[in-house]
């Protein structure tokens, strides 16, 4: 690796699943503004739903999600009662206008729901919203939760994509992150969802975990490939103990350094590419016939809080504590506290407590960042045609980067600005150059690679 690139391995920058990023959301966007954004949806608008389940029956020490551990089911029952109330309120506002194209169940652990509760939740959604004929329904699965009844429940709600958390199959690594899960457990769930007609299986893998080595990463990827997933995500472990206190359970002396993290990411990517998968953005891989790979080739790939997606809906409605939504006007986020969330949605209320409205500058910078993250390139002509003078100003910045940055992270190729192949692992750092908020914010971020 060129020395000027190696020096940037330890940079701390956002993951850019949104722009502006979540640390810049503020309380000026509240339930009243959110209600207005819902009311202005155009008739026939296609929307996606994100449902957040904020509970796990065990706490994985590597996790940075909004979740909490519970050994009792009563808090989950109370949460579901509040979720049903929020669904009813939002549906009353948008029914007859919005049509649901896709649903994503995330967490936390959605699969810790009892089978009957998962089926009821699916029924509530179907009864509350208008749906397209064949909606895409994705569920994040913890294989440790799964049994035949839960597999049947997921089939009953119409799951079309199963996303399984793997992280690493090495027992020493698993013990260090409090996530013990055998290959056979994972295989049983993959076989179970496929036998029930699920059309797409995704596996989530991590590099940069405690005690992880290149050899253990190779072994994990090799085992994962035997399951023939349609997609794989390869995430770098984000060590943010100042944000998630349970990560202090991980001794930092166990973590690989920046150079080793980079080597782990590259060797894992090579194994997937050699197996016939196509690289999607900087951390996803898919079989050539998968919808994500087709979107990447067509230039219609998008990025949201679930990562890379082929979902083209402009509107994402977030449901549940801490859920984030996206609208033409900006982002919203629900109250993270489950107890306070329940009080807010009772009797027809909404739970949004923060967010951000897009300025014209946000829109142009957000477009550049998304195209860099998805395509590793953007067209100068397209930029100016879309955004006029605002695009022209940022065109000058891009040109300066391409001509004067000694690291050569961005190059000018005809009318397009392109991230060269050897710099693609650093695309988050390149995107950060267009982030107006980064230098003024107080948020701390994970390392770039």
pLDDT tens column, 367-420: 999 999 999 999 999 999 999 999 999 999 999 999 998 888 999 999 999 999
**Is the domain of 247 the same as that of 335?**
yes
Two tokens, residue 217:
């990463």
The reply to whether 321 and 380 lie within a common domain is no
Q: 197 lies in which domain range?
A: 9-357
208 in a domain, yes or no? yes
394 located within any domain:
yes
Tokens, residue 69? 């551990």
Question: Residue ranges of the alpha helices (H) in 7-72?
Answer: 31-39
Task: Tell me: do 181 and 202 sit in the same domain.
Answer: yes
- State the Cα–Cα distance between residues 402 and 43, nearest whole angstrom: 43
Report the pLDDT value the prediction gives residue 19, as an integer from 0 to 100: 96
pTM over 0.85: yes
Same-domain status, 119 and 247: yes
Per-residue pLDDT tens digits for 347-371: 899 999 999 999 999 999 999 999 9
Count CB atoms within 10 A of the CB of residue 273: 12
pLDDT per residue, tens digit, the chain (449 aa), is 666 676 666 678 899 999 999 999 999 999 999 999 999 999 999 999 999 999 998 888 878 778 888 989 999 999 999 999 999 999 999 999 999 999 999 999 999 999 999 999 999 999 999 999 999 999 999 999 999 999 999 999 999 999 999 999 999 999 999 999 999 999 999 999 999 999 899 999 999 999 999 999 999 999 999 999 999 999 999 888 877 888 888 889 999 998 899 999 999 999 999 999 999 999 999 999 999 999 999 999 999 988 899 999 999 999 999 999 999 999 999 999 999 999 999 989 999 999 999 999 999 999 999 999 999 999 999 999 999 999 999 999 999 999 998 888 999 999 999 999 988 988 999 999 999 998 776 565 666 56
CATH of the domain at 372: 1.10.10.920
4 inside domain = no
**Phi/psi of residue 138, each to 5°?**
-110, 140
CB count, 10 Å around CB of 446? 19
Please report the pLDDT score of residue 218 as a whole number.
97
> What are the C-alpha distances in Å from 145 to residues 26, 174, 280?
36, 16, 29
Which CATH number goes with the domain that contains 91? 3.80.30.20
b/e code 191-211 from CB counts within 10 Å (16+ = b): ebbeeeebebbbbbbbbbbbb
* Count of domains observed in the chain: 2
- CA dihedral (334, 335, 338, 341) positive or negative: negative
Which residues are within 8 A (CB) of 60 and not within 5 positions of it... i.e. 6 or more apart? 167, 177, 178, 179
- Do 391 and 332 have their domain in common? no
In a domain, 320, yes or no: yes
């Amino acid at each position: 690796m060129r020395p000027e690139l190696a020096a940037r391995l330890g940079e701390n920058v956002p993951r850019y699943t949104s722009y502006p990023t979540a640390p810049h959301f503020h309380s000026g966007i509240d339930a009243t503004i959110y209600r207005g954004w819902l009311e202005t949806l155009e008739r026939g608008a296609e929307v996606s739903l994100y449902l957040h389940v904020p509970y796990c029956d065990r706490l994985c020490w590597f996790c940075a999600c909004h979740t909490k551990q519970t050994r009792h089911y009563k808090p989950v029952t109370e949460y579901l009662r509040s979720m049903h109330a929020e669904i009813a309120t939002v549906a009353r506002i948008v029914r007859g206008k919005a049509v649901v194209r896709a649903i994503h169940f995330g967490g936390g652990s959605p699969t810790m729901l009892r089978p009957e509760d998962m089926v009821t939740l699916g029924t509530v959604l179907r009864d509350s919203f208008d749906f397209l004929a064949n909606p895409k329904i994705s569920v994040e699965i913890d294989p440790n939760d799964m049994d035949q009844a839960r597999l049947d429940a997921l089939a009953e709600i119409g799951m079309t994509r199963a996303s399984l958390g793997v992280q690493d199959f090495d027992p020493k690594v698993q013990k260090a992150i409090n996530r013990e899960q055998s290959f056979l457990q994972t295989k049983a769930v993959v076989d179970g969802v496929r036998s029930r007609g699920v059309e797409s299986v995704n596996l989530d893998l991590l590099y940069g975990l405690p005690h992880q080595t290149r050899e253990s990463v190779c072994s994990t990827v090799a085992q994962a490939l035997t399951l023939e997933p349609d997609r794989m995500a390869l995430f770098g472990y984000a060590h943010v103990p100042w944000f998630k206190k349970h990560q202090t359970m991980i001794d930092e002396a166990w973590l690989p350094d920046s150079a080793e993290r980079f080597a782990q990411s590259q060797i894992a990517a090579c194994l997937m590419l050699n197996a016939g998968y196509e690289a999607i953005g900087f951390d996803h891989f898919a079989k050539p016939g998968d919808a994500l790979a087709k979107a990447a080739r067509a230039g219609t790939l998008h990025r949201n809080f679930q990562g890379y997606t082929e979902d083209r809906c402009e509107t994402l409605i977030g449901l549940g504590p801490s859920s984030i939504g996206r609208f033409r006007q900006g982002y919203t986020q629900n109250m993270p506290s489950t107890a306070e969330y329940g009080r807010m949605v009772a009797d027809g209320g909404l739970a949004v407590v923060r967010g951000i409205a897009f300025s014209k500058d946000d829109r142009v910078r957000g477009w550049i960042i998304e195209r860099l993250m998805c395509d590793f390139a953007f067209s100068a002509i397209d930029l100016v045609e879309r955004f006029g003078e605002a695009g022209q100003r940022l065109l000058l910045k891009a040109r300066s980067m391409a001509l004067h940055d000694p690291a050569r992270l961005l190059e000018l190729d005809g009318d397009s600005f392109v991230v060269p192949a050897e710099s693609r692992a650093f695309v988050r750092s390149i995107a950060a150059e267009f982030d107006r908020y980064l230098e003024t914010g107080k948020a701390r971020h994970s390392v770039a690679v």
